[in-house]
């Protein structure tokens, strides 16, 4: 295996006849290989787990078990050598990529080895041994109850600040018989104090008079002590005053919507905040006062909500026609009810106007994926684009299992996946922009290191544009996408596309090509294929990038960031201030330079960023990090900013800056919702219809894809595949698992409800909660083993289940769990450390399993009468002892 003697090659001859167990590979007598030898073997492409490389110096009934344990030990040793090297200083990005590739291959090989291994004297599982298990993946129960965020802090009898002033809106209730609008105006309460209960009673009186069943309520959100870090000390702060929320209790026969009487535009900023990797969403309304007084709030901010744990990066967001916001996020772990398959995935989330996540869809990548772009059509469909490594469709890994490919996925307005296309060159490529065209096609742009199918590579990274047409045989048939045109372009150097927009029959791209900022214009023909018409070089990027591109009133607006104080764009409205500055350029739609071109720089003497740009009604909205001192370190404080500019004059019409927890605020995306801000924001109520149900199909609401599978092996040794269907639900999957186990497992559906505390101190159900599978061994049965599916199509990870044994703890066959999660990897220092710890623990488990195979003593116990001569000898020994001791 290592260019050395086979493992477990201990002493031989007469000495071996007295051995009870073969020499283990961790024994000094076996001369274990060095770390460098293990690393060379691992990186040399050798199999990690190979019984053929083991030899035993003692034969016996458990020879097969020993070979398997030794083969596993050598494989885990190689994996530990890889993770150990990845954790060393000075490892290059290229070497780390190679290490990660081999580590992932080794972990996949371990799953396959255990799936096929047949132990005799013990049971070995990849995960853990337990009497029962529960899926992490959950499906939301239908619920007609909606609970807002906190709208009041303090006593329930106090007047509520959010209810003061002019508070008008309407509640639309739609039934099968039609819809009616119920006007709510708190001025109708006259001089009555606007407390939480009095306002709820007033609204319910209007609802009752209208003859509808929907009602408003109040919910107590008990405050809890907070734990904070102050230097090296952990400090627990006392609980603050209780907080109160409003609730909407509907019924399944009534669809409820909230409609403001007056509204203005809202701007959403997604940002990373603090030092713990958290993300939140800020909602702004120009001219709105800072009414909350909360920490880190600024004038104009009217809302703040957090994103789920596990969100690593948010690169794109957009507003839907109903005023909701869609974001595409990279996650390293799923939301609490949505585990992911691999080390990283892309999740599409929908937030209502109150900032609550009402829908979450995982791409379902088996290894890693990154989301770079999003677009929402006029009819509410959503397109997401990015890159994926490893399998996306079950068992299909693209041209290379370890090279990134471009992908685009289209969802309908309810978040149901319509189709996914994976398009890859031989080398790496990624989709960085996506748009819906007026012709009904979806256009994708990105970059590639080699020729895309149907095109020619120019050298280095090239930019590309590709169109997709949708086809459907009949209304009930699935929608399919067909690539209808591709154009690859650039220079002999490295090029990219960072922004794209479609304007009628023209398509524009902007990016950095061989170090220069370049805008391109294409003509779209009847098949969707783009043909280059003109190009405009804006000047050296000087470390900058393009963040936004739009066509407004016959002019092209380009925005980004650069250190170049002299971009080639004619008249300068505002000069470069120093460091990196954001810029906004206005040029002709034909890309020909003219005296009408305008350039505006925006920033301070330090480094500014333009993380995202949106152009709405001819105005440019910018967000990013504001005026960071030159030479600042990564951990130094950062401030976020939001600004609106007139691109023609360069005037800054509105701007706010802010900071965040631990002095860190890093905006990443911006989205502008026309009419998205209203008095409803003060009440924590969303505009539009309140969702009461979501899909129950697992491929919609989890990271599962149709065709994913896992195996159930009963104690008889029979292994049965459980394959996920397109219409799989918790109910159908429960029946499949029970059947596959030969009824050795009992699978039920468990409901986790959402609760809150009432005024009387009683706990009550406030929302529908979620449902998940609970798996236990059947009475009188020995249970079964859950085994991971093949690499690229494993369903256990997406279900949040650990491969392992589920059965009684008193089973005659001893079970050993390696506890090696599928999420182990080398993506960062914390992941490397965790992998090292888990591998060492698993190797220790193998040693325990080895000791458990030691044969029991066969020497018979001596019983009966003691012979006379032994009694005489014993008496003589006792007499002599008495004389010596006096």
pLDDT in tens, 196-218: 999 999 999 999 999 999 999 99
Asked whether the CA dihedral 670, 673, 678, 683 is positive or negative, the reply is negative
pLDDT in tens, 430-470: 999 999 999 999 999 999 999 998 889 999 999 999 999 99
Hey, what are 685's tokens?
A: 């109520």
**pLDDT of 14 over the 80 cut:** no
- Rounded to whole angstroms, the Cα distance separating 696 from 272 reads 32
pLDDT the model gives residue 474? 81
- Determine how many CB atoms are found less than 10 A away from the CB of residue 604: 15
**pLDDT of 405 over the 70 cut:** yes
Straight-line distance from the first to the last Cα atom of the chain, in angstroms, rounded to the nearest whole number: 68
pLDDT the model gives residue 3? 42
pLDDT band at 720 (very low <50, low <70, confident <90, very high): very high
pLDDT in tens, 530-539: 999 999 999 9
User: What values do phi and psi take at 628, rounded to 5?
Assistant: -80, 135
- Determine how many CB atoms are found less than 10 A away from the CB of residue 321: 12
**pLDDT of 58 over the 80 cut:** yes
**pLDDT of 399 over the 90 cut:** no
34-43, 229-238, 384-393, 607-616: the lowest-pLDDT one: 229-238
Mean pLDDT over all residues of the chain? 89
**pLDDT of 282 over the 90 cut:** yes
119-128, 343-352, 818-827: the lowest-pLDDT one: 818-827
More reliable by pLDDT, 822 or 1: 822
What is the pLDDT averaged over residues 800-824? 88
Order across the sheet with 255-260: list the strands. 178-185, 168-175, 255-260, 688-689
More reliable by pLDDT, 230 or 432: 432
664-668, 717-721, 772-776: the lowest-pLDDT one: 717-721
pLDDT band at 875 (very low <50, low <70, confident <90, very high): low
pLDDT the model gives residue 231? 62
Helix/strand/coil for 835: helix
pLDDT the model gives residue 258? 97
**pLDDT of 709 over the 90 cut:** yes
pLDDT band at 229 (very low <50, low <70, confident <90, very high): low
- Rounded to whole angstroms, the Cα distance separating 464 from 320 reads 27
- Rounded to whole angstroms, the Cα distance separating 670 from 114 reads 47
pLDDT the model gives residue 330? 96
- Rounded to whole angstroms, the Cα distance separating 42 from 555 reads 57
- Rounded to whole angstroms, the Cα distance separating 107 from 48 reads 9
Contact 391, 791 (CB under 8 A): yes
171-185, 229-243, 579-593: the lowest-pLDDT one: 229-243
114-118, 287-291, 309-313: the lowest-pLDDT one: 287-291
pLDDT in tens, 518-528: 999 999 999 99
Task: Kindly list the domain boundaries of the chain, sorted by start residue.
Answer: 13-124+818-840, 132-140+698-806, 145-249, 263-306+542-678, 308-492
What is the pLDDT averaged over residues 644-649? 96
Percent of the chain clearing pLDDT 70 (strictly above): 91
Instruction: Give the dihedral of Cα atoms 196, 200, 201, 205; nearest 10 deg.
Output: 160
pLDDT in tens, 181-200: 999 999 999 999 999 999 99
100-109, 121-130, 295-304, 784-793: the lowest-pLDDT one: 295-304
**pLDDT of 61 over the 70 cut:** no
**pLDDT of 9 over the 70 cut:** no
**pLDDT of 48 over the 50 cut:** yes
pLDDT the model gives residue 718? 83
Which of 822-834 are b and which e, b meaning 16 or more Cβ less than 10 Å from the residue's Cβ? bbbbbbeeebbeb
The answer for residues whose C-beta is within 8 angstroms of residue 592's C-beta and 6 or more apart is 534, 536
pLDDT in tens, 97-154: 899 889 988 998 998 899 888 898 899 999 999 999 999 999 999 988 999 999 998 8
pLDDT the model gives residue 197? 94
pLDDT the model gives residue 671? 97
**pLDDT of 94 over the 60 cut:** yes
**pLDDT of 161 over the 70 cut:** yes
Highest mean pLDDT among 1-10, 48-57, 542-551: 542-551
18-32, 626-640, 716-730: the lowest-pLDDT one: 18-32
Contact 823, 798 (CB under 8 A): no
Order across the sheet with 665-678: list the strands. 301-306, 278-284, 263-273, 665-678
pLDDT the model gives residue 20? 82
Contact 105, 826 (CB under 8 A): no
pLDDT the model gives residue 169? 97
pLDDT the model gives residue 871? 63
pLDDT the model gives residue 760? 42
**pLDDT of 224 over the 80 cut:** no
The answer for residues whose C-beta is within 8 angstroms of residue 860's C-beta and 6 or more apart is none
More reliable by pLDDT, 785 or 399: 785
pLDDT the model gives residue 298? 83
**pLDDT of 294 over the 50 cut:** yes
pLDDT the model gives residue 765? 44
**pLDDT of 723 over the 90 cut:** yes
pTM over 0.75: yes
Contact 694, 409 (CB under 8 A): no
pLDDT the model gives residue 334? 75
- Rounded to whole angstroms, the Cα distance separating 277 from 611 reads 17
pLDDT band at 763 (very low <50, low <70, confident <90, very high): very low
- Rounded to whole angstroms, the Cα distance separating 445 from 546 reads 14
Percent of the chain clearing pLDDT 90 (strictly above): 69
More reliable by pLDDT, 238 or 502: 502
What is the pLDDT averaged over residues 568-587? 96
Helices and strands in the chain: count of H runs, count of E runs:
10, 49
Per-position DSSP letters for 522-537, written without gaps between them: EEE-TTS-EEEEEEEE
CA angle, 123 then 129 then 135, to 5°? 130
**pLDDT of 270 over the 50 cut:** yes
């Amino acid at each position: 295996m290592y260019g050395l003697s086979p493992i477990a090659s201990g002493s031989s001859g007469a000495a071996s006849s007295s051995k009870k167990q073969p020499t283990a590979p961790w024994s000094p007598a076996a001369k274990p290989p060095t770390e460098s030898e293990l690393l060379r073997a691992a990186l040399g492409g050798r199999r990690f787990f190979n019984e053929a490389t083991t030899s035993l110096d003692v034969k016996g009934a458990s020879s097969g078990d020993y070979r398997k344990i030794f083969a596993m030990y050598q494989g885990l040793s190689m994996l530990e050598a890889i993770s150990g090297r990845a954790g060393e200083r000075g490892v290059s990005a290229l070497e780390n990529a190679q290490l990660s590739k081999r580590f992932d291959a080794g972990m996949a090989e371990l799953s396959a080895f255990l799936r096929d291994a047949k132990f005799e004297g013990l049971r070995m599982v990849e995960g853990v041994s337990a009497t029962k298990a529960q899926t992490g993946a959950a499906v939301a129960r239908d619920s007609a109850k909606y609970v807002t965020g906190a709208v009041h802090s303090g006593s329930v009898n106090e007047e509520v600040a959010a209810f003061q002033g002019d508070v008008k809106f309407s509640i639309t209730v739609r039934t099968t018989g039609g819809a009616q609008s119920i006007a709510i105006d708190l001025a109708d309460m006259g001089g009555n104090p606007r407390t939480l209960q009095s306002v709820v009673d007033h609204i319910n009186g209007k609802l009752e008079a209208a003859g509808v069943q929907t009602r408003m309520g109040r919910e107590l959100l008990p405050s809890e002590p907070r734990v904070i870090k102050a230097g090296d000390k952990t400090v627990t702060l006392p609980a603050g005053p209780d907080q109160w929320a409003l609730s909407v209790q509907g019924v399944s026969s009534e669809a409820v919507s909230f409609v403001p009487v007056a509204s203005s535009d809202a701007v959403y900023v997604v940002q990373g905040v603090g030092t713990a990797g958290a993300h939140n969403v800020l909602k702004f309304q120009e001219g709105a006062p800072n009414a909350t007084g909360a920490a880190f709030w600024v004038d104009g901010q009217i809302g703040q909500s957090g994103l789920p744990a596990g969100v690593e990066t948010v690169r794109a967001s957009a507003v839907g026609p109903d005023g909701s916001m869609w974001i595409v996020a990279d996650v390293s772990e799923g939301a609490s009810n949505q585990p992911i398959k691999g080390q990283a995935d892309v999740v599409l989330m929908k937030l209502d106007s109150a900032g609550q996540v009402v829908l979450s869809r995982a791409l379902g990548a088996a290894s890693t994926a990154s989301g770079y772009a999003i677009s929402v059509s006029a009819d509410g469909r959503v397109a997401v684009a990015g890159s994926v490594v490893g399998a996306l469709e079950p068992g299909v890994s693209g041209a290379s299992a370890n090279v990134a490919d471009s992908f685009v996925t289209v969802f309908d307005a309810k978040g149901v996946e319509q189709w996914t296309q994976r398009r890859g060159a031989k080398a790496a490529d990624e989709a960085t922009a996506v748009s819906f065209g007026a012709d009904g096609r979806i256009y994708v742009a990105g970059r590639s290191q080699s020729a895309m199918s149907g095109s020619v590579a120019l050298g280095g990274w090239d930019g590309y544009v590709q169109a997709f047409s949708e086809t459907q045989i009949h209304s009930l048939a699935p929608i399919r996408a067909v690539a209808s045109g591709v154009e690859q372009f650039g220079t002999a150097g490295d090029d990219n596309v960072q922004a794209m927009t479609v304007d009628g029959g023209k398509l524009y791209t902007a990016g950095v090509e061989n170090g220069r900022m370049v805008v391109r214009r294409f003509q779209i023909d009847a098949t969707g294929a783009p043909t280059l018409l003109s190009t405009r070089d804006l000047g050296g990027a000087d470390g900058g990038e393009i963040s936004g591109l739009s066509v407004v009133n016959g002019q092209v607006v380009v925005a980004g960031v650069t250190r170049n104080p002299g971009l080639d764009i004619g008249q300068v409205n505002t000069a470069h201030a120093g460091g990196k500055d954001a810029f906004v350029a206005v040029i002709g739609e034909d890309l020909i330079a003219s005296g009408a071109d305008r350039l505006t720089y925006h920033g301070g003497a330090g480094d500014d960023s333009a993380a995202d740009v949106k152009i709405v009604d001819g105005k440019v909205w910018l967000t990013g990090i504001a005026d960071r001192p030159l030479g600042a370190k990564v951990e130094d404080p950062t401030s976020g900013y939001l600004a609106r500019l007139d691109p023609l004059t360069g005037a800054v019409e509105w701007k706010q800056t802010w900071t965040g927890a631990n002095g860190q605020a890093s905006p990443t995306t911006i989205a502008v919702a026309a009419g998205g801000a209203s008095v409803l924001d003060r009440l924590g109520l969303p505009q539009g219809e309140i969702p009461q149900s979501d899909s129950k199909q697992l491929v919609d609401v989890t990271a599962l894809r149709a065709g994913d599978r896992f195996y159930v092996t009963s104690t008889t040794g029979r292994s049965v595949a459980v394959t996920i269907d397109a219409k799989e639900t918790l109910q159908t999957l429960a029946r499949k698992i029970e059947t596959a186990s030969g009824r050795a497992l009992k699978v039920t559906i468990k409901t986790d409800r959402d609760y809150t505390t009432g005024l009387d101190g009683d706990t009550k159900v406030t929302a529908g909660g979620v449902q998940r599978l609970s798996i236990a061994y059947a009475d009188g049965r020995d249970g079964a083993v859950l085994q991971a599916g093949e690499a690229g199509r494993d369903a256990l990870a997406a279900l949040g289940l650990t491969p392992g044994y589920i059965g009684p703890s008193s089973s005659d066959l001893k079970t050993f769990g390696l506890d090696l999660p599928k999420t182990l990897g080398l993506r960062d220092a914390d992941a490397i450390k965790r992998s090292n710890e888990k591998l060492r623990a698993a190797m220790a488990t193998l040693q325990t399993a080895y000791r458990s195979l030691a044969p029991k003593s066969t020497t018979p116990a001596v019983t009966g009468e003691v012979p006379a001569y032994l009694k005489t000898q014993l008496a003589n020994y006792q007499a002599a002892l008495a004389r010596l001791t006096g």
